[in-house]
Amino acid sequence: MAPFLAYEDKGTDTTLAPLVLIHGHPFDHTMWAPQVEAFASSRRVIAPDLRGYGTSPVAPGLTPLSRFAQDIEELLDDLKADTCVLAGLSMGGQIAMECYDRFGDRIVGLVLADTFPAPETPAGRAARNRMADRLLREGMRGYADEVLDKMVAPYADPEVKAHVHRMMTATPPEGAAAALRGRAERPDYRPLLTRVTVPTLIVVGADDEFTPVSDAEDMHALVPDSVLRVIEGSAHMPNLERAGEFNGVLGEFLSRVDGGVDDHVAGCVDGRVHG
């Protein structure tokens, strides 16, 4: 049976754990294009479209983070990827946390980018459900126009802005609404983070308003074997806004996970990367 999710699968080196990239909301796997290009020459890179996003099937209603994580697990089974380095940004980071809770024995490295582990507040739950209603009623364009300069910094490259806006407006409203309703019910991942036993990279854009540096610092304090890197000159999507700097940080981390420990990264408790 064909996998439920659409995905990009590049790179043929099977000696290293594949890098699995989980996109955020309301995007698709193409948000990871700079990372696929940079790392597929040295390892297998798998970048799926989550259900309801990109070219994956739309499942209206409510999609909990546990369902997204189950989809990722099933995709790994289909692709015969027994282990992986798992990276997620924003909602993708929360899905990565859920994945670690579900099948942490398969994850050899964890990357949490521009995300946070706390459960939704009552006010936040109501706001996410109102936004879901709005997207179903109005479509994605108005929302995309409003949040573009928070998803990426106002000073971001125009081509990056255009790419981000295209992803948002192309997302099916039913899929985005289902994810919003699911995220409104998410659990508290903070206790889980204290039990993470694999190397973990926590990375955040210095000018991120959605998940500020303070959120990343809090996660860093929770995860025992973690490094924190702050990408200057970027907001919520440093992997696109400052792809070179992000790839440098990710590459150093992958070297550590693969066993070629980089002394600087291994000894780093915090660091800022300047673009």
- Could you report the per-residue pLDDT of 78-91, keeping only the tens digit for each? 999 999 999 999 99
| CATH among 2.40.10.340, 3.30.460.10, 1.10.3720.10, 3.40.50.1820 for 7-273 | 3.40.50.1820
With a cut of 70, list the residues of the chain below it in pLDDT. 1-2, 260-270, 274-275
- CA dihedral angle for residue 235, residue 23, residue 62, residue 144, rounded to 10 degrees: 50
∠ CA 94-97-102, nearest 5°, is: 130
Q: Which residue has the tokens 């109005």?
A: 138
Cα–Cα dist 184/62, whole Å:
10
Tokens of 26: 């309301």
Cα–Cα dist 195/109, whole Å:
14
Tokens of 7: 């995905």
Domain borders along the chain are 7-273
- CA dihedral angle for residue 219, residue 223, residue 226, residue 230, rounded to 10 degrees: 0
- Could you report the per-residue pLDDT of 206-224, keeping only the tens digit for each? 999 999 999 999 999 999 9
pLDDT score of 2 = 60
Q: In sequence order, which residues have a C-beta less than 8 Å from that of residue 149 and are 6 or more positions away?
A: none
Residue 11, CB half-sphere, CA atoms under 13 Å: how many? 23
DSSP letter for 222, please: H
